[in-house]
Amino acid sequence: MLTANLDKTDIKMLAALQANGRLTNVELAEKVALSPSPCLRRLKQLEESGVIRQYVALLDPAKLGLGLQAFVRVSLEKRGGSAHLTSFMEAVQRWPEVVNCYAMTGEMDYLLQVYFEDLQHFSRFVMDELLQQPGVEDVKSSFVLKEFKQTTSLPIYHLGQ
C-alpha cells in the first residue's frame, strides 16, 4: 500500500539518495533538475512522511573483523505462548551479532541474519545465548560462502508507472 503521493521527481530523488545518501542538497537538486529550494522542501516532506526513514553509513564487515556471516533459522516451542515470544524478541534486541530478524511463515518461526568474527564466536553465541533462551526448540544455520548481491536499495521502479 502506497502511503505517499510520489511524482516522478520524488522517485528520482529517492533513487539518487539510495545510490548515495551523502549527496548535498545542491547535488541532489542538480540530479533531479530542480533548484535547491524546492528540492529541499521535497526532501523534508519525504523525511516527515516517513518515506525516508533514516540515513546511515554502511560498514564493511570483513574490514571490521566480522568474516563469518550466517542465517540462523529458529523455531520456538508452541506451548510457551506469548511469554516465550516476548522473551525471544527482547533477547534478539540485545544480541549485537543479529543485524536482521524476520518472523517467517513455513517451517521456522524466525530467520536471523548474523555476523561473527569466526566459528568459535558463532559457537559461543549459539551455545551460550541462543540455545539458553527459553522456548527455543530448534536452530538450523547456513553460512554464507560468497555474497553475489547485497544492496540496501529498494526496488522503486513500479512507482513511476
Q: What is the CATH number of domain 8-57?
A: 1.10.10.10
Residue 1: per-residue pLDDT: 52
**Long-range CB contacts for residues 54-61, cutoff 8 Å, separation at least 24:** 55/21, 56/21, 58/152, 61/115
Delimit the domains of the chain by residue range.
8-57, 62-143
**Architecture label for domain 62-143:** 2-Layer Sandwich (3.30)
Q: Is 73 exposed, middle or buried (0-12, 13-18, 19+ CB in 10 A)?
A: middle
Interatomic CA distance for residues 85 and 101, integer angstroms: 13
- pLDDT per residue of the chain (161 residues) written in tens, 0 to 9: 555 689 999 999 999 999 999 999 999 999 999 999 999 999 999 999 999 999 999 999 999 999 999 999 999 998 767 888 999 999 999 999 999 999 999 999 999 999 999 999 999 999 999 999 999 999 999 999 999 999 999 999 888 76
Instruction: Give the three-state DSSP class for 108.
Output: coil
Amino acid at 7: D
Residue 4: per-residue pLDDT: 64
pTM: 0.86
Residue 81: per-residue pLDDT: 72
Residue 80: per-residue pLDDT: 65
The answer to whether 8-57 and 62-143 have equal CATH topology is no
Residue 30: per-residue pLDDT: 97
Contact 73, 125 (CB under 8 A): no
